[in-house]
Structure 1
Amino acid sequence: MAITRQTMTDEQRKSVALEYLKAYDNGGVTSTGGSILDLFAGDAQVYFPKWGLANGKDEIGKLFGEVGSRGKSIRHDYAGFNWIFTGTDLFACEGTSYGEHADGPWRAGVPEWGAGRWCDVFEVRDFLIQRCFIYLDPDYAGKDTARYPWLAGKTPDKG
């Protein structure tokens, strides 16, 4: 845990999270041309479903490389974000996304039960992401239906 040195407003924390999301959409490159990893503290943690917990920039880079290698493109729908602030360094962002995965395209709401809706819980301090826990369905192609009785026989194109 880093020692807090700079007081931040919610809007400043939000700007760090937005820079991260936009860098993710831009193949890991920030608006200034730097690496997405520059937005993280050295001892940061990132959680991604079906991958697990990455500790530190090296593991976070591995997580992003492995998860990102399955996607061809992603876009977050920035205009529809819901920001939930707690009055501390911890806050959440809920939103939707669309793009193309190695197994095909996806869009939030198409079908309604498919991938594309997500919620990230951030901890931002000293203008760096200390923690980012990502909550979403990583089955972007919508192929994991056999294990769920309510989805048996459904496909992404048939809802």
Structure 2
Amino acid sequence: MAVSRQTMTDEQRKSVAVEYLKAFDNGGVTSTGGSILELFATDAQVYFPKWGIAEGREEIGKMFGEVGGTIKSIKHDYSSFNWVFSGGDTVVAEGTSYGEHQDGPWRAGVPEWGAGRWCDVFEIRDFLIQRCFIYLDPDYAGKDTARYPWLGAR
């Protein structure tokens, strides 16, 4: 990773994270018409459950293509995000989303145990995402119930 050259405030880091999430909602296109990948450092890391860790913009693009290819639409509920700031480069965003996966629709809270709740841990320096680890249930449509006996009872 590159040596940090620019001091950033928590609000500036938050604005980078929000731009990333809005670009994801917009099919990978940022508010300026650029690629979501331009928000990442060239040597960034992204983790997505059931995919693993992608390293560098090329592999991140591959991951987003594979995961995003299963999602017909997604919207994040920006007004209800929880933000946690470390006082350093780390910013945590917790929130909800809704949309349609190739296997069906999802909405946080419908059902309560289903997909739609997520938490992203970012490291943002020099106005670029250095690391983004995404924590969520990737079973968007709630089809993976046979392996969880408590879901069968509901």
Give CA deviations for 1:43-77 in whole Å, capped at 9, x if unaligned: 00000000000000000000000000001000000
- Aligned residue number for residue 80 of structure 1: 80
Unaligned runs of 5+ residues in structure 2 are none
Determine what percentage of the aligned residue pairs are the same residue: 81
Q: Aligned with 1:62: secondary structure? A: helix
Distance 1:149 1:120 in 2: 28
Q: Aligned with 2:19: secondary structure? A: helix
Question: Is the Cα–Cα contact under 8 Å of residues 76 and 95 in structure 1 kept in the other structure?
Answer: yes
Distance 1:71 1:89 in 2: 30
Distance 1:77 1:91 in 2: 18
1:112 partner letter? E
Q: Aligned with 1:96: secondary structure? A: strand
TM-fit CA distance, 1:153: 5.4
- Aligned residue number for residue 57 of structure 1: 57
Q: How many corresponding residue pairs?
A: 154
Distance 1:143 1:29 in 2: 29
| Superposition CA RMSD, Å | 0.7
- Aligned residue number for residue 146 of structure 2: 146
Matches within 5 A, 1:10-159: 10-152=10-152, 154=154
Question: Is the Cα–Cα contact under 8 Å of residues 146 and 153 in structure 1 kept in the other structure?
Answer: no
TM-fit CA distance, 1:34: 0.2
TM-score after normalising by structure 2:
0.99
Distance 1:65 1:131 in 2: 18
Farther off after superposition, 141-150 or 74-83: 141-150
Distance 1:100 1:84 in 2: 28
Question: Is the Cα–Cα contact under 8 Å of residues 114 and 142 in structure 1 kept in the other structure?
Answer: yes
- Aligned residue number for residue 157 of structure 1: none
Distance 1:14 1:90 in 2: 10
Unaligned runs of 5+ residues in structure 1 are 155-159
